[in-house]
Amino acid sequence: MVVGDFPIETDTMVVGAGPGGYVAAIRAAQTGQKVTIVEKGDLGGVCLNVGCIPSKALIEAGHKVHSAHGNEDMGITTENVSVDFSKVQAWKGQVVNKLTSGVESLLKGNKVDIVKGEVFFVDQNTLRVMDEKNSQTYTFNNCIIATGSTPIEIPNFKYTDRVLDSTGALNLDEIPEKMVVIGGGYIGIELGTAYANLGTEVTILEGTKEILGGFEKQLTQPVKKSLKKKNVTIVTEAMAKGVDESDDGVKVSYEVNGKEETIDADYALVTVGRRPNTEEIGLEQAGVEVDDKGLVKIDNQCRTNKENIYAIGDIVQGPPLAHKASYEGKVAAEAISGKKTVIDYLAIPAVVFADPEVAGVGYTEQGAKDAGYDVKASKFPFGANGRALSLDSTDGFLKLVTRKDDGLVIGAQVVGPNASDVIAELGLAIEAGMTAEDIALTIHAHPTLGEVTMEAADVALGTPIHTM
């Protein structure tokens, strides 16, 4: 291994080029800092390469196949729908490549130095970047750590060609006849739905009483109804025990109601959570504190216990969401530049690309009550929305959570078509301190799905037009 003779100096070193790291690097450069970003894998991190983007591409491919089978209620019937899965995967790869190459262009356009290799901290102001042939030392004034997370491997389910993590599930070269999904969280539901739409017989094993934990039960009901129509079997309070693997499939054993059951499938997909990538990078050498889960402790500007080292994304407290990481990246970069920006998580949305989609932002009704607010919950169904009717996608509703005394919007939940887009206006409403009246007085184009937000605001005011 060749070791660099002299350290390279930089103002701000960013470790990790995922949606947190590359955004932090660009924002830091925009504030006048000399920035170096280091990434051991591909630019864009998990999200762009093996997470958010390819999964949504596969989900969309599943929707296309599902739609191609026609709709008898509309008088549309089709025959002999076929899928060339190799072309689906090639198209998915093109989507990923466009975005990752775009990230590289953005970094270079903002004069960020890009370095490939693995990082190990030497001390609070020094780290080494290593690849198979070289080792180079860098010194920095400030550092933003954004190393992301890795899928958790549960006991007796070692990842193989047949026992998959989310990355493996996205890179299959065939559409399975049968798949067992262990974990009914958002990743399991999204990928399970995608493969069900592609024709796979899917069974979901969830250890708790409900799928999509963290969302209210009334929001998950339309999702469960849709999964049942797709012949997806959901087994709750089921604990996965082990897997026997053969050349052409797996036999998964699980326990439910005190009884052990088995199920045969082509593949088992394990989606039970992620762990932070904070080991083996020398954080102890830099003196950075982590908790017993490996999460880095930060203040409200993403600063660790070392004043010049910041941490963002999946390695700090909070949900492992790409948009949370990007937001924190901006806060950390601006804090380094001397701005008084601080993190505020109230208006960070959570989205599940199920069928129908589920989204939430701010407080839930119960969460607001637990926090001491006197609130009103106002619902409007997609079944009373003209655009949803024309799309033949009427399952679901929007629920607005407002303070009773002044109508301030403090939360919202949506289950229904394009919930991932509908939620954006509600996040803005919370961030801007808007009331139900502000939303109701905003003219929404007709016919659009966005009208459900205005209609729910009318319900909150006691003056509903299109529902009783």
Active site amino acids: 446
Which 8-state DSSP code applies to residue 260?
Answer: E
Q: Which residues contact 467 (CB under 8 A, 6 or more apart)?
A: 380, 381, 384, 455, 459
Which two tokens mark 138? 């860098």
Tell me the C-alpha distance between 276 and 302, whole Å. 16
Given CA atoms 260, 263, 264, 267 in this order, what sign does their dihedral have? negative
Do residues 13 and 143 touch, judged by C-beta distance below 8 A? yes
Do residues 421 and 451 touch, judged by C-beta distance below 8 A? no
Please report, in range form, the residues annotated as the binding site for FAD. Answer: 56, 147-149, 314
Q: Phi and psi dihedrals of 140, rounded to 5? A: -140, 155
Do residues 307 and 125 touch, judged by C-beta distance below 8 A? no
Please report, in range form, the residues annotated as the binding site for NAD(+). Answer: 183-190, 206, 273
Other Cβ atoms within 10 Å of 21 Cβ, number: 30
Which two tokens mark 290? 């982590």
Q: Which of 462, 461, 460, 442 is nearest to 451 (CA)?
A: 442
Q: Which residues contact 18 (CB under 8 A, 6 or more apart)?
A: 44, 45, 46, 47, 48, 146, 148, 313, 322, 325
Instruction: Provide the β-strand partners of residue 401.
Output: 377, 411
Tell me the C-alpha distance between 310 and 330, whole Å. 11
Which 8-state DSSP code applies to residue 74?
Answer: G
Tell me the C-alpha distance between 392 and 383, whole Å. 9
Tell me the C-alpha distance between 456 and 132, whole Å. 58
User: The tokens 């280091």 sit on which residue?
Assistant: 38
Do residues 367 and 401 touch, judged by C-beta distance below 8 A? no
Please report, in range form, the residues annotated as the binding site. Answer: 56, 147-149, 183-190, 206, 273, 314
